[in-house]
Structure 1
C-alpha cells in the first residue's frame, strides 16, 4: 500500500512540477525515461525525484536566462521496447535536446542505439553500468552523445570478487537476471573471482517476473556453495532469496548494487540477511553530498537519500542543466559540447543547490570555467562517456545497509592488473 501511495505521489508531483512551467514560451523541455514501474521501479522513482530536485534548484537560481527547465517524464515500465517508444516520442514529436535515462542498462542501451545516437540527441544515464555501453562507444556507435554517472560493471565485478573472497566465500553459486546487465556483471565477476582463487559452483540465469524461482534456486544449490551471488533487482531478487532460503541454501549472500534497497530487505526478512554483503558504485563526499543528504528526503516525499540511483540522478540533472546554460540554447550538439566544459579541470568548483547554481550561472555569463563537483564526488567523463570512482563495500545489519569500507578505483585497477598476469 505504501509503495502504491508513493508512486501516486511521485506521478502527481512530476505532473504538478511540469504543468505550470509549460505555459512559458521560453521554457526548455528535457525528456526523462525512467523505470517508474516494473522490477526497477524503486530506482526510477528515486531517480526521477532527484532530477526534479536538481531542476528546481537550477530554476530557482535563475535558469537559462530566466527560462525554466521542465521535464516530460515517461515510464519505461522497466522494458526496453516501451522505453524506445517513449524516447521516440520525446525526440521526434517533443523535439527534446536531451534524454535523462534509463536507469537499467536493458532500457538505456535500446534507447541509445535506436533513438538518441541516430538522432544526435544527448543521453545521460544515472545508473546503467553495463560494459556494453563502453564497447558501443569504442565502436563509434554512440555518436558521442552518451554519458553516465555510474562506474562500469567491468570494475564493479572485480571489486565484488575480491570482497566475496575477503568474507571467506571460497565457493559461490550465482543466480543472475538474464539480460545485458546481469550477463556482463557475472562475466566480469567470474573472470576475477576464479583468477583470485575462488570456485563458482553453479551459474543460473533467470527470466524476469516469474511467480516462482524454486527451480533456479534448487539448481544453484549443487556443489555446496558458501554463499549465493544474487545479481538481480529488488522484487525478483526477494522472491529468489526466499526460494533459496526455504530450499535450504546457506543464509549467506553477495549482492549487486541495486539490491541495496529497503524493499528487498523487508520482503526477505532482515533476520535472514545478517550475512549479506554487497558492492555499489561509491562516492567521494563533497559539499554537494552534504546538501543532498540533508534535503532530498523531504523533497522526495520520504525516499531515503541512500536509495539506489538517487545521488547520481541528481548529478545527471545538474550536469544537464549547467550544460544547457553553457550552451545557451536547446541544441543537442551545443549541449554535448558543453558537458565537459561545466566539468572543466581547473574551473571554479560548483556544488549542488540554488546558491551554488546561481554562482555557476554568473561565472558562465562571464565566460569563466566551472567545475561541478557532484553528490557522488568530482565528475569527469572519458571519450566514451564513462566515469571512474570508488566502490562502496556494504553489509546488511539489523535490517539496515551499513558501509564496511571503500575500494578506490586505484585499488580495483591493481587487482585487475594482478589477475591479468
Structure 2
C-alpha cells in the first residue's frame, strides 16, 4: 500500500508540473508512459520532469495557436505489460496523438508493436537504445511512427569495447540485466571487445528488482577478472556493485550510461568507484545544454540535470511540442510528417527555453524552416527515427563524473566495419 501511495503522489506531482493554466482555455493532451517506480524509476522520475519543463517553456512561448500542451502521465512500473496497458488506455480511450515513452527498451518495444504502430500514433522515446527498434523499422513493422533521442546500442556497445581496451580493462566479467537492452548490449560489446583483444571471463544475466545479487556477483568472479562491466539501472546497479565489492571483486568497473548518476555513486560509495569508467550517448554542447543544466534542478525540485535520461527527455518533449506546432493541431499523421521538418538541416537554429521557442513559433507561422539543436546536441533523425551522435567517455573520481574524451559515431562505424573484414 505504501508503494502505491508513493507512486500516486509522484504521478500527481508530475501531472501538476506538466499542466500550467491555459489562458486560452484549450489543451492538447500528450500521453506519457514512464517508469515512475521499479528498477528504472530514477529514469522515469527525471524524464517526466524534463518533459514537463519543455512543455512549460513551450506553453509560456505561446503554445499551439494559444492552446497549451498538457500530459496524461502513466506509471509503467518498469514493466512492459503494464506499459502496454497504460499506452492502450491513452490511445484508445484518451485518443492522444503522441506518446512520449517508454524509457527502457523493454517498455518501448511492446508499446510500439502492440499500440502505437498499429494505431498510427507517434511515439518518441528519450532513452530506449535497443537495436531491435531499428530492426523493427527495417522489417516494416513501425509504420514510421517511432523516434528516439538516444543512439542505438549497436554503436554504444562498440564504443564501450574500444574504451575499455584503451583504458587497460582487458580481462572483464559482465553482469547484465536480463532484458532486450542488456542482451543486445552484451552482444554488441562482446563481438567488438574480443576482436580488439579483450577476454570475457563470464557473462551473468540477472533479473531486475531483487533484494540481493550476491549469487550473481559470486558467479561473475569465475575466471579471476580484472574488472566488471555492469549493464544495469541505477538502483539495481548500486546493489550489484556493492555485492561485487563485498565479495572481494576488484574495484574496477566499466559502466553503461545509466550509472552516470550521482545517486548511483552515493549508493555505492565514492571511494569504491575511483577506477570506474563509462560511456554515454554523447552530448555535443549547445546553448540548449547550458540552459538545461542551469535551470532543471530548480524546476524539478532538486533532481540533478545529469540524472539518467533527463537531458534527452527535455529534447523529446521539445521535439514533440515543436512538431505539434508545425502540424498545427493534434493530428497524428501531421505530427509524424512534421518531426523531420523541425530538425531541418537548412532551418534556423532553435535552442531550449521560452525565448527560443517563441522565436521558433514565429518562424513556423511564417512558413520558414527550423532546426532544433537540443540539450544532447544537434538532432538529426534518419528514416528509422534513429539519431547519430558522439559518445561521451567518462570516469568517476572522488565522487565526480568527469568527461575524459569523446568518440564520434563515424569512428565507431569505422571500428565496426574493420571488425567485419
Shorter-chain TM-score range:
over 0.9
Distance 1:289 1:22 in 2: 28
SS at match of 1:56: helix
1:419 counterpart = 2:419: yes
- Per the alignment, in what secondary structure is the counterpart of residue 72 of structure 1? strand
Alpha-carbon displacement from aligned partner over 1:151-183 (angstroms, at most 9, x marks no partner): 000000001001111111111111101000000
- Of 135-144 and 7-16, deviating more is 7-16
Residue 337 in 1 paired to residue 337 in 2?
yes
Q: For residues 6 and 253 of structure 2, what CA distance do their matches in structure 1 show?
A: 29
Residue matched to 1:52: 52
CA shift at 1:29, angstroms?
A: 0.1
Mapped to 2, the partners of 1:22 and 1:79 lie a distance apart of 33
Q: Once the 2 structures are TM-superposed, how far is the Cα of residue 307 of structure 1 from its aligned partner?
A: 1.2
**Equivalent residue, structure 1, for 2:279:** 279
Whole-angstrom CA distance in 1 between matches of 2:76 and 2:22: 22
Q: CA deviation at 1:103?
A: 0.7
Counterpart contact for 2:18–2:52, Cα < 8 Å: no
Provide the secondary structure at the position in 2 that maps to 1:70.
Answer: strand
Match of residue 230 from structure 2: 230
Given the superposition, is the C-alpha separation of residues 8 and 80 from structure 1 closer, same or farther in structure 2, using an over 3 Å criterion? Answer: closer
Distance 1:353 1:248 in 2: 48
Contact 2:221 2:249 in 1 (8 A): yes
Matched, 1:410 2:410: yes
Question: Structure 2 vs 1, CA of residues 30 and 363 (structure 1 numbering), >3 Å: closer, same or farther?
Answer: same
Query: 3-state DSSP class of the match of 1:401?
Result: strand
Match of 2:87 in 1: 87
| 1:166-315 aligned within 5 A | 166-315=166-315
Question: What whole-Å deviation, never above 9, does each CA across 1:251-296 have from its counterpart, x for those lacking one?
Answer: 1110111111222212211111111111100111111111111111
Matched residue, 2:388:
388
For structure 1, which segment, 63-72 or 264-273, has the greater mean C-alpha deviation from structure 2 after superposition?
264-273
CA-CA distance at 1:40 after TM superposition: 0.6
Equivalent residues in 2 for 1:108-119, closer than 5 Å? 108-119=108-119
Count matched residues.
419
Once the two structures are TM-superposed, the CA of residue 17 in structure 1 deviates from its matched residue by 3.4
Is the 2:217–2:247 Cα contact (8 Å) retained in structure 1? yes
Conserved in 2, the CA contact under 8 Å of 1:28 and 1:67? yes
8 Å CA contact 2:33–2:100 kept in 1: the answer is: yes
- Structure 2: tracts of 5 or more residues without a match: none
Unaligned segments of structure 1, at least 5 residues: none
Q: In 2, Cα distance between the equivalents of 1:20 and 1:347? A: 29
Render the CA deviation track for 1:176-225: whole Å, top value 9, x for unaligned.
Answer: 01000000000000000001011111011111122221111111111111
Question: 1:371-392 CA distances to partner (integer Å, 9 max, x unpaired)?
Answer: 1111111101111110000011
> How far apart are the structure 2 equivalents of 1:393 and 1:273?
15
Pairwise CA distance, 1:16: 2.1
What corresponds to 1:72 in structure 2? 72
Whole-angstrom distance in 2 between the partners of 1:371 and 1:220: 46
